[in-house]
Chain A
Amino acid sequence: NAGVTQTPKFQVLKTGQSMTLQCAQDMNHEYMSWYRQDPGMGLRLIHYSVGAGITDQGEVPNGYNVSRSTTEDFPLRLLSAAPSQTSVYFCASRIAGQRNSPLHFGNGTRLTVT
């Protein structure tokens, strides 16, 4: 079991560029999500999905798109990168519908937008 795998680990973008952060899990988890972590802010939810074909917005969705075509994959797209999107991004998954199931996190992607 690899768990939750995120790629890349580090990325530097110029303002206006687009890119996709990849996330894959091999635990057959229905629920997947993306968080961003900024200093002094904790982690904030960007988007989430409760199954293939179903996505919804979190707290800070602007500037990001997601899709969920398979149970395993949940990519996060930055359409036109801005310096405000400099952050550490975490993908996380869990079993849906099970009481108290914890989130399993990937190792994060550190993104810098210049």
Chain B
Amino acid sequence: AQTVTQSQPEMSVQEAETVTLSCTYDTSESDYYLFWYKQPPSRQMILVIRQEAYKQQNATENRFSVNFQKAAKSFSLKISDSQLGDAAMYFCAYRGRRYDSGGSNYKLTFGKGTLLTVNP
């Protein structure tokens, strides 16, 4: 079974600085998808960025970028120029490509989350 580990329960960053959130995962599949979701206090789950395992180029979305290391099974999120609105719980998630009943394509496996605080 796939597992996703976020080793930092809490992180803090000064406004305008850069912070990196860690995520590692375990899988025997060679093709899969990785996601970062943000959950602010409003409870809404917001997609931040996504990466396909077969693409070597790291995904970027404005101030958000990832460092995807497939061999190390690592998928860290870098937030540049941090803003107060970035304060939230961040979840790393994995989805595989198995299509059997209960297969990994039908389930998003989440880490336990990292709570990010942004200090003014």
Q: How far is the CA of A59 from the CA of B101 in the complex (A)?
A: 12
Interface size on B, residues (CB 8 A): 20
**Which residue of chain A has its CB nearest to the CB of B34?**
A100
Q: How far is the CA of A40 from the CA of B35 in the complex (A)?
A: 19
A56 touching B101 in the complex, CB below 8 Å, given contacts A40-B112, A42-B113, A48-B107: yes
The size bracket of the interface on A is 20 to 34
Across chains A and B, the number of contacting residue pairs, with CB separation under 8 Å, is: 54
Stretch at the interface among B12-20, B44-52, B65-73, B74-82: B44-52
B64 within 8 A of A: no
List residues of A (64-106) whose CB comes within 8 Å of B's CBs. 88, 90, 92, 99-100, 102-103, 105
Interface SS, B side: loop
Q: Return chain A residues, CB-CB under 8 Å to B44.
A: 105, 107-108
Interface SS, A side: strand
Q: Return chain B residues, CB-CB under 8 Å to A92.
A: 45, 108
**Which residue of chain A has its CB nearest to the CB of B113?**
A42
Query: Which of B43, B44, B45 has its CB near the most chain A CB atoms (within 10 A)?
Result: B45
A50 touching B45 in the complex, CB below 8 Å, given contacts A42-B111, A102-B50: no
**Which residues on A are within 8 Å of B, measured CB to CB?**
31, 33, 35, 40-45, 48, 50, 56-59, 88, 90, 92, 99-100, 102-103, 105, 107-108, 110
